[in-house]
Amino acid sequence: MKVKINLQTNSAKMSLKSVKYSLNVLKSENLEIFSDLAKAKLKRLKMKFNDLESKFLSLDGDNAGHHVFLKHSTSNTFKIQTHVRKGLKNLLSENPETINLFCEDDDPLWNRELLYTALLNSQDLPSRKSKIEKKQLKVINFFGNLSAKEVVEIEAIVSGNTLSRQLTMTPPNDLTPTHYRQEIKKLASKRKWKFKEYNMSQLKRMGAGAFVAVGQGSDPQDAAIVHLTYQPKTFKKTITLVGKGICFDTGGHNLKPSKYMFSMHEDMNGSATALGILEAASLNKLPVKIDCWLAIAQNHIGPKAYKQNDVVKALNGKTIEIIHTDAEGRMVLADTLTLATRTKSDAVIDFATLTGCMAVAMGDRYSGIFSNKPELACLAVGSGQKSGERVCSFPFDEDYEEDIESDIADIKQCTLEGGPDHIHAARFLSQFLTDPKQPWLHVDLSSSNTKGGLGAAMSDVNGFGVRFGFSLIQDILQK
């Protein structure tokens, strides 16, 4: 949903008497808009003004207006986003059509996150309820320190994040591989991206046995690898994005219990994240060529589905011993990575909701990363802190491969002993890079769904990874 943003350079125009809804970030309680009524309520709640560095004050004014106050503090992006989100949730609960945002300080971080968080939570997300109360927000009057260029960038990232959330939240009967591929094709046409796809018949002929092993279990066999390209007239570098797009994951023959199968329509979140980054980069016209590869399939159980003890040959010729059919993500990514890395780029970044082990290690507030280049991992951690979408780098030492050595094939898909499966998965995927020295970052998305929201996002499905990826590409461009 398009929201009009009016940049107001004169904060003197900001008056609560003429405003129905506002969120105000203040440095001092002496400002006129922090009225005697606000001070009285603060006193009644036995709070001090400095308490608003971590809390918010909600006030209903004389003109039947609703106003929220926060105090500016020196903090990091994630803490600012969280603080603003909680205040905005209170403000937006009445579903206003127009809100005013006021930031007393010129601090670029606070100004940017204030608008970003408000705009992000103004977007409509999928719902199949008979009666839906759509978000009414149409206008944001922003009193602060932002340029028109900065607003364009914020709008682009919000568009990418919203695309990711909308796709991830779509019910699986409405987003089968067939439907998903159609939606991607429409989007490619709209954004003028080059579009190519490799269907199951083509992949069989090519020898992409790892991908086909998973896709063959579905009826119809509508799995495919989709390749999109964004290429501006002039560009400085080339980035390769790869995304896992399992539209529903039953676990296959190693069937998931119902508790763990529920929400497995979100197992395509890695591909939605890659698409969201591509969308944001395109709308912001970043001077970078992006090749985006999406592994789209479902993991079903049936007579044609792959099974334990099968041995399949991947696109790069390596043979894989199947240990557990619920480790399908690394199978579809293996052949997709091989295809994606046949052409060299400055960095390959893949996104996947890949392992439960990462969720155990990190919970749902951080995601984990692995890289064959320590400097890329360090850059990514910095991009995560800067964007408010935090990541932690994990060990990637070669000796972990001893755990996935096979007696009958080149490599085991995984182990049955548990252990560090998130590290095993990363070491497994690294075997399918065409050039093992090519800079590669693997993102295991353990924080794609967080109850009650995360960072700037109020929704459980939060679009994590889109702003991180966008920020990382910007940082790579500056190197």
- What positions carry a catalytic annotation? 256, 330
- Which backbone phi and psi does 150 adopt, to 5 degrees? -65, -35
Residue 375 near residue 471 (C-beta atoms within 8 A): no
Separation of alpha carbons 17 and 37, rounded Å: 13
**CA dist., res. 349 & res. 474, Å (int):** 14
Q: Phi first, then psi: give them for residue 55, nearest 5 degrees.
A: -120, 180
C-alpha separations of 414 from 296, 324, 354, 429, 444 in Å: 21, 7, 12, 11, 16
- CA dist 14 and 256 (Å) reads 55
Residue environment code for 17-44, b if the CB has 16+ CB neighbours within 10 A, otherwise e? eebbbbbbbbeeeeeebbbeebeebbee
Positive/negative CA dihedral, 1, 281, 380, 445:
positive
Q: Answer for the pair 323, 306: CB distance below 8 angstroms, yes or no.
A: no
Half-sphere exposure at residue 210, Cβ-oriented, CA atoms within 13 angstroms: 32
For residue 391, list its beta bridge partners: 367
Q: Where are the alpha helices (DSSP H) in 262-392?
A: 269-283, 328-340, 356-362, 374-387
Q: Residue 302: how many CB atoms within 10 A of its CB?
A: 12
397 CB-near residues (< 8 Å, 6+ apart): none
In angstroms, the Cα distances linking 89 to 23, 30, 55, 195 are: 11, 26, 13, 39
Return the number of other C-beta atoms located less than 10 Å from residue 291's C-beta.
Answer: 22
